[in-house]
Amino acid sequence: MSFIQNKISNEEDCLSDGVYEVEKIIDNRIVNGKNQYKIKWYGYPESESTWEFKENLFYEKMLEEYHNSKTFNKKKKTEEVVFNQIVTCEWEDHILRIVAIAISPSGTKEVEYENKDGTKGVCDAVEFRYKAPIKLIEFYEEHLNFTE
């Protein structure tokens, strides 16, 4: 049986029942606050996998296995490490003021600042947010304009 004949046969089986069979769960994401899962359908190539909301799936055991799998746990740990930044405020006592915030040629935001000893420096805004958040808030408050 050729791939196309097999696919047509599978489509007819699925359409007559109205339910497709899940082969495996490939990935997950959150869309508008709801869980979606990328589904590899039985009898179809991976290129035809689709994103489905959890409430449309009837495979609780497969969902549980997916969430308990190593792949899911590794991905979750990686995300936690990336977003688990600690605010240290270690520069607050050394910085006199922020001079400007600008976009660098590479497209990142950079903070130009002046230290209490008179020296000046430039730092990536994301890093600055963790090392001197109060100075950053003060700068934003001073440069905030309200319109009516």
Q: Which two tokens stand for residue 6?
A: 């097999």
Mean pLDDT over the full length of the chain:
79
Whole-prediction pTM value?
A: 0.42
Instruction: Kindly report the CATH number assigned to the domain that includes residue 118.
Output: 2.40.50.40
Q: pLDDT tens for residues 59-117?
A: 788 888 887 875 555 655 555 555 556 778 888 999 999 999 999 888 889 999 999 99
Residue 110 lies in a domain: yes
Look up the domain containing 49 and give its range: 3-62
What is the average pLDDT across 117-133?
91
Of residues 61 and 14, the one with the higher pLDDT is 61
- Asked if residues 53 and 34 have their Cβ atoms less than 8 Å apart, the reply is yes
In a domain, 147, yes or no: no
The domain total for the chain is 2
- Distance, in Å, from the CA atom of 54 to the CA atom of 44, rounded to the nearest integer, reads 20
Q: Which pLDDT belongs to residue 7?
A: 44
**SS3 (DSSP) at 124:** strand
Domain boundary among 62, 87, 109: 62
**Cross-strand partners of 105:** none
Does residue 99 sit in the same domain as residue 58? no
